[in-house]
Amino acid sequence: MTGYSDRINHAFAFAAKHHDRQVRKGTRLPYLTHPANVAVILTRYGRDEETVIAGILHDVAEDCVRDGWTRDMLEQRIGSKFGPRVLETVLAVTKRRVDDDGVELSREDVRADYLERLGTASETAHWVCAADKVHNAGSILADLRRTIDADTVWGRFNGGRAGTMEWYRGVHDRLAEIGFAAPIMAELRALVEQLEAA
């Protein structure tokens, strides 16, 4: 099982630098709590160091284009610091805002593009995708259990409850469709079903 390593520590420092001042939607929690939990989930399932590092860095290219950093610069830094396999995994689970021809994608097209690209992504990327969704879905469920007004939780997300449910169900079903049958899928399926019943 993967434990502490200097590379994992370096990945946390890199993610902390780039997610600095970001918080989780609708909360005051530092954003870094999300990639940290993704890393914990991947470690719990015995994933290797490269997968855990990709889990820690999975949102950097997508969410940290600011303060003089372009997406290309972030991708180059991830690749040079953590290697091509980590970069490939991060890019596979990064939502693209523009297509291969540079055409801006609508919110619906961004999601469709992400699901489509899962079909050619590595098993490592499938693990990171599933762990990301497990943590997010679990966080939503925990927040729903703590509130008396579910709309305060669903209102954080574009598309509200219906759009959020469609997204999580869509990711689960796409992973299943392409043959990703790892043990984490049972956990993801259970969380999706609990969200749908919430």
Q: Note if the pTM is more than 0.75.
A: yes
Residues near 154 by beta carbon (within 8 Å), at least 6 away in sequence: 160, 161, 164
DSSP summary character for residue 95: P
**Alpha carbon of residue 31 to chain centroid:** 12
Q: What is the rounded radius of gyration, in angstroms, for the C-alpha atoms of the chain? A: 16
Instruction: Return the pLDDT at 129.
Output: 97
Instruction: Return the pLDDT at 122.
Output: 96
Rounded Cα–Cα distance for residues 186 and 181 (Å) = 9
Rounded Cα–Cα distance for residues 110 and 83 (Å) = 26
Domain 6-94+104-197 has CATH 1.10.3210.10: yes
pLDDT in tens, the chain (198 residues): 566 788 898 898 888 887 777 555 666 667 788 999 999 999 999 999 999 999 999 987 765 445 656 667 778 888 889 999 999 999 899 888 877 777 788 888 889 999 999 999 999 999 999 999 999 999 999 888 888 888 888 878 878 888 888 999 999 999 999 999 999 999 999 999 998 888
Rounded Cα–Cα distance for residues 30 and 22 (Å) = 6
Instruction: Return the pLDDT at 29.
Output: 66
**Alpha carbon of residue 180 to chain centroid:** 17
Residue 23's DSSP bridge partners are 30
SS3 57: helix
- The residue ranges of every structural domain in the chain are 6-94+104-197
Residue 8 in tokens: 């994992």
